[in-house]
């Protein structure tokens, strides 16, 4: 069975395009979240759709960003679907895990996300090892100026002693 999911962020956004595309794709059931941000993970419509999806079913969205704003949540969701024997189709993004090409595209996206996460971990680890980020030129120049200003009274006192 093909199960559709549609989401709009604001109540005034139009669901029509998404719903028409999901119906044309053959979705038998369509679940909707209206006025819900893509940053929000807990969504009633999405929860209902996922509760309906079973083995051999396909979750269909008009566009991948309907599942979430960042790539992490949709990729995790697709991995869960696949591990439960279900598939995924994004009508406008060329992702269809029922086909070999779609599975390759999904695997590339998952690999890129893993790569990005690894880079973030490396940068975080490097910050911990090497401490504070290096100061910029302007920070060094300001510190040098403050040092000269602070040393000025001592230098002036030394000049007075030499001349006096």
pLDDT in tens, the chain (164 residues): 999 999 998 866 789 999 999 999 999 999 999 988 887 878 999 999 999 999 999 999 999 889 987 777 888 888 889 999 999 999 998 899 999 998 898 888 888 878 887 888 887 776 666 555 555 555 555 555 555 656 655 555 555 566 55
> Could you tell me the pTM of the whole model?
0.69
- Of 23, 81, 101, 90, which is closest to residue 60 (Cα–Cα)? 90
- Summarised one tens digit per residue, pLDDT across range 59-87 is 999 998 899 877 778 888 888 899 999 99
Write down all domains in the chain, each with its CATH number in brackets. 2-99 (3.40.50.1390), 115-163 (no CATH)
Distances in Å between the Cα of 51 and the Cα atoms of 72, 138, 156 are 20, 57, 80
Q: Report the sign of the C-alpha dihedral through residues 84, 85, 91, 96, in that order.
A: positive
Residues labelled catalytic: 9
């Amino acid at each position: 069975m093909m199960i559709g999911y549609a989401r709009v962020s604001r109540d005034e956004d139009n669901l029509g395009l998404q719903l028409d595309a999901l119906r044309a794709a053959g979705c038998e059931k369509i679940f909707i979240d209206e006025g819900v941000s893509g940053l929000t993970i807990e969504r009633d419509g999405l929860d209902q759709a996922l509760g309906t999806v079973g083995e051999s079913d396909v979750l269909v969205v008009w566009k991948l960003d309907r599942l979430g704003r960042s790539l992490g949540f949709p990729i995790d969701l697709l991995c869960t679907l696949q591990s439960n024997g279900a598939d995924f189709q994004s009508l406008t993004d060329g992702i269809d895990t029922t086909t070999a090409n779609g599975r390759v595209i999904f695997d590339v996206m998952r690999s890129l996300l893993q790569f990005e996460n690894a880079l973030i971990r490396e940068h975080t680890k490097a910050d911990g090892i090497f401490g504070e980020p290096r100061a910029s030129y302007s920070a060094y120049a300001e510190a040098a100026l403050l040092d000269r200003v602070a040393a000025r009274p001592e230098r002036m006192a030394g000049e007075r002693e030499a001349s006096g």
